[in-house]
Chains A and B, each alone.
Chain A
Amino acid sequence: MVRRIAVILTAASLAAAVACHKKAPPIARPAPPPPTSTAPATPPRPPEPVREPTSVPAEPVRDDAIASASLDDLNRNSPLKPIFFELDRSEVSPAGQKVLDENATVLKRYPAWAITIEGHCDERGSAEYNLALGERRAVAARAYLVAQGISADRLRIVSYGKEFPFDPGHDESAFAKNRRAHFVITAK
């Protein structure tokens, strides 16, 4: 465990050194994760122990807030944005495609990341059917990311049906937020 952290730290400092010499990243760089402007910049925590034995990423880790943040911090203010669905539908909308394009860019930039795509529904359908509908939404999001070149191995899916609404309200604006595919970073 200690050794693994040491390895990551070493890799990070190496990467920082590399980054200084590099001019531009090879891929179009998305705006780095928008840390909410009001939030005080939290000092980067030491990296959390990784969950699964992952080798040090081949791509140099960049010395930025994302690379050094813990999984919890990352997920609290995730660079991967949720996408939203129409009532009883699971097609990815044009707006959703745009978000997924950005998510794909982030995932390409951090190739060690593994994520879980959660499918969720609003409260109007039945609890039982919603499990399968949420699954369809997660599958649709994954299929789109795979088509953008993200390896399916990195993308687990799970449906929660309507068990975990994002917004506990009972109006259309709450429902719209709850019909979603939500992205959770599970390894980095």
Chain B
Amino acid sequence: MKHSILAGMMAAAVFVGWTRAQQPPPQPPTTTQQPSEIGVPIVGEAGNPPRLAVPDFIALSPDAETVAIAKILGQVLWDDLNFEHEFAFIPRDVYASIPKATSLSDVPFDRWRELNADGLVIGTVQKVDAGVKVEVHLYEVRTRRSVFGKEYTGAASANPRRYAHLVSDDLHLSQRALHGVAQTRITFASDRDGERMKNTVQKRDVKEIYIADYDGERQTRVTVNGTLNVFPRWSPDGRSIAYTSYGKGTPQILISNIFQATREEVTRGNDENWLAAWSPDGTKLCIASPREGHGYTNLYVLNRDGSGLRKLTSHPSINTSPTWSPSGTQIAFSSDRTGNPQVYVIGADGVGQAQRITTSESYADKPTWSPAPYNEIAYTAKTGPGNDIKVIDMATREVRQLTFGEGSNESPAFAPNGRHIAFTSTRAGKKQIFTIARTGKDLKQLTRSGNNEHPDWSAK
């Protein structure tokens, strides 16, 4: 009874949150491609990335809301496009010298040429009956030709950042054949609410599951369980989050369907179950459980409704932290069968010997397998008093290090295009979520309130 009330409250909370933010299922802005203008990639000079300018959008309606949206769109789009480094950018502070266009027909291309812009991303925002219409173009400055053009319409209350994220992903796909991550989200566990665990005399903070946009904006609480909720993982379709919850005393795997505002129990009973990882097709979960006793932990695979449990590893040691290969045929995990934990790979059918991957670490855990085109595994490595994030190339077995002892760094999770990694770091004091490029550049702090940890990056 109490549970169903809680679930109901959770449902209401999530539903209200999503409705206000105009999240899917009501798919936000709809798109109209302008068919005459597709697919011509803009190029830079002599092999350099094209130099783009992304000024504020043009407000075609004079009201304050439209003007504000136009400004936000330009700024967020600049950040979104810059995140992938496919283009070079003319800094925004230089744009002030260029007269503002009042429509797409009076864009001062000559002036943009003076700044050596190869491309100009500019758009308009207009109030329409249905809400807001946004038209975006990428112009080749030299020829004044539109090489990308799209229209987006959505409710006026839609968060303007969502338009920018959508435009950015469309632009990257059309211009660079790249799957951008501007529309993706990151989930994590947080104790920011300062709520205390019940049923204990110890001072212990509740941790709940949160989500945020990939850039750390719009952080939203997903669970209202009032207990320890940790290690969230996005389902491949981005509509559900599986996590480990201690609500019934022993840790169990739950799934929050964040758009339906429903909750499923994947595991139940007295056995402990941790660290769910979704198969790429979203039908199965791999979990770790010490259910056989003796202090051994092994991996199990089961259907998302909890049926069809089978044991994946059978080793008298700790075998934990599962992650699926992008193809779904293999599972990487950590095992301390030789002493401290190391990363291993085994077939998803459990047949055959586990193959050891990390050989130069004293301690390696939490593998995360990058999507194509990269074939890499990032992991937590003990490097001194704390941990750091490292990446191993599965073909060459070369290891590169992304963090270097700034606080302790752990729990890496790849972005769906393999170019970025989210992780937990104590470098700013408490535990916070950061993102970093796979090259080790572009470190960015996403969270600042309370402790935030165990990030996972959505595929969509």
Chain A residues close to B by CB (< 8 Å):
72, 75-76, 88, 90, 116, 123-129, 131-133, 135-136, 139-140, 156, 158-160, 163-164, 166, 184
Q: Which B residues lie within 8 Å of A72 (CB)?
A: 201
Can you give 19 A-B contacts (C-beta < 8 A)? A88-B340, A126-B341, A126-B380, A127-B231, A128-B334, A128-B366, A128-B380, A131-B288, A131-B320, A132-B274, A132-B290, A133-B318, A135-B290, A135-B297, A136-B295, A158-B246, A158-B250, A163-B207, A164-B204
Of the candidates B228, B290, B336, the one whose C-beta lies within 8 Å of that of A163 is B228
B residues in contact with A124, CB < 8 Å: 382, 385-387, 408
Q: Which chain B residue shows the least CB distance to A72? A: B201
**Roughly how many angstroms separate A124 CA and B245 CA in the complex, as a whole number?**
23
Take A131-B320, A159-B290 as given contacts and tell me if A126 and B411 are in contact as well, using a CB distance cutoff of 8 Å. Answer: yes
The interface centre, meaning the residue of A90, A125, A128, A164 with most chain B CB atoms within 10 A of its CB, is A128
Nearest A-chain residue to B204, judged by Cβ: A164
Q: Which residues of A contact B251 (CB under 8 A)?
A: 131, 158-159
Q: For B453, list chain A residues within 8 Å (CB).
A: 127
CB distance from A107 to the nearest CB of B (A): 19
Q: Which residues of B contact A128 (CB under 8 A)?
A: 231, 274-275, 320-321, 334, 365-366, 380, 411
Question: B293: CB under 8 A from chain A?
Answer: yes
Contacts of B204 in A (CB 8 A): 164
> Are A129 and B385 in contact (CB-based, < 8 A)?
no
Q: What CA separation (Å) do A163 and B250 show in the bound complex?
A: 14
Q: B102 contacts the other chain (Cβ, under 8 Å)?
A: no
Residue of B nearest to A184 (CB): B200
Residue of A nearest to B453 (CB): A127
- The residues of B that contact A129 with a CB separation of less than 8 Å are 318, 320-321, 334, 336, 341, 365-366
A132-B320 CB under 8 A given contacts A140-B295, A163-B230, A164-B204? yes
B295 touches A90 (CB 8 A): yes
Decide: A139 and B274 in contact? CB cutoff 8 A.
no
A143 to B200 CA separation, bound complex (whole angstroms): 24
In angstroms, how far is the closest chain B Cβ from the Cβ of A184?
Answer: 7
Contact at A160–B408, with CB atoms within 8 Å?
no
B201 near A132: Cβ-Cβ < 8 Å: no
Q: What is the bound-complex CA distance between A139 and B297, given in angstroms? A: 12
Partner of B387, one of A126, A156, A163: A126
- Interface centre among A75, A76, A135, by most B CB within 10 Å? A135
Contacts A126-B410, A139-B293 given; does A132 touch B288 at CB 8 Å = yes
Q: In chain A, what residue has the closest Cβ to B207? A: A163
A131 to B275, CA, bound (A): 9
B294 at the interface (CB under 8 A from A): yes
Given contacts A139-B294, A164-B204, A166-B202, 12 further A-B contacts (CB under 8 A): A116-B249, A127-B410, A127-B424, A128-B275, A128-B380, A132-B320, A135-B272, A135-B290, A156-B250, A158-B249, A163-B230, A164-B228
Chain B residue contacts of A76, Cβ below 8 A: 201
Which partner residue on chain A sits nearest B250 by CB separation?
A158
Does B439 make an interface contact (CB < 8 A)?
A: no
- Whole-angstrom distance from the CB of A174 to the nearest CB of chain B? 13
Cα separation A129 to B382 with both chains bound (whole Å): 12
Nearest CB of chain A from residue B297's CB, rounded to whole Å: 4
Contact A127 B411 (CB under 8 A): yes
In the complex, the 8 A-B pairs of residues with the closest C-beta atoms, listed nearest first:
A136-B295, A126-B365, A132-B297, A139-B295, A132-B318, A128-B321, A129-B365, A126-B380
Return the chain A residue nearest B340 by Cβ.
A88
How many Å lie between the Cα of A75 and that of B454 in the bound state? 30
Bound CA span A116–B380, Å: 31
Instruction: Verify A158–B408 contact, CB threshold 8 A.
Output: no
Residues of chain B with a CB closer than 8 A to A159's CB: 251, 272, 290
Also in contact, A158 and B272, with CB within 8 A (given A75-B201, A163-B207): yes
Contact B363 A125 (CB under 8 A): yes
Chain B residues contacting A158 (CB-CB under 8 Å) are: 246, 249-251, 272
At the interface, yes or no: B270 with Cβ under 8 Å from chain A? yes
Measured between C-beta atoms, what is the minimum distance from A172 to chain B in Å? 10
In the docked arrangement, what's the CA distance between A139 and B291, Å?
11
Instruction: Give Cα A76 to B201, complex, Å.
Output: 6
Docked complex: B201-239 residues within 8 A CB-CB of A? 201-202, 204, 207, 228, 230-231
| A135–B408 CA distance with the chains assembled, in angstroms | 23
Most A C-beta atoms less than 10 A away, residue of B231, B341, B366, B453:
B341
Interface centre among A76, A116, A123, A156, by most chain B C-beta atoms within 10 angstroms, is A123
Q: Decide if A156 touches B270 in the complex (CB within 8 Å).
A: yes
CB nearest to A137 among chain B residues: B295
A184 contact set on B, CB distance < 8 A:
200
Closest residue on chain B to residue A160 by CB atoms: B228
B231 partner residues in chain A, CB cutoff 8 A: 127-128
B454 contacts A127, CB within 8 Å?
Answer: yes
Measured CB to CB, the closest approach of chain A to B304, in angstroms, equals 21
Q: Which residues of A contact B295 (CB under 8 A)?
A: 90, 135-136, 139-140
By a CB distance below 8 angstroms, the chain B residues around A139 are: 290, 293-295
Q: Across the two chains, which residue of chain A brings its CB closest to B298?
A: A132
Q: In the complex, A74 Cα to B411 Cα: how many Å?
A: 37
Residues of B contacting A126 with CB < 8 Å? Answer: 321, 341, 363, 365-366, 380, 387, 410-411
Give every chain B residue within 8 A of A131 (Cβ-Cβ).
Answer: 251, 274-275, 288, 297, 320
- Note all chain B residues with C-beta closer than 8 A to A136: 295, 318
Q: Would you give the shortest CB distance from B163 to chain A, in whole angstroms?
A: 36
A84 vs B411: C-alpha distance when bound (angstroms): 26
Q: Which residues on A sit within 8 Å (CB–CB) of B202?
A: 164, 166
Bound state CA distance, A123 and B382, in angstroms?
A: 12
**A184 to B228 alpha-carbon distance, docked (Å):** 17
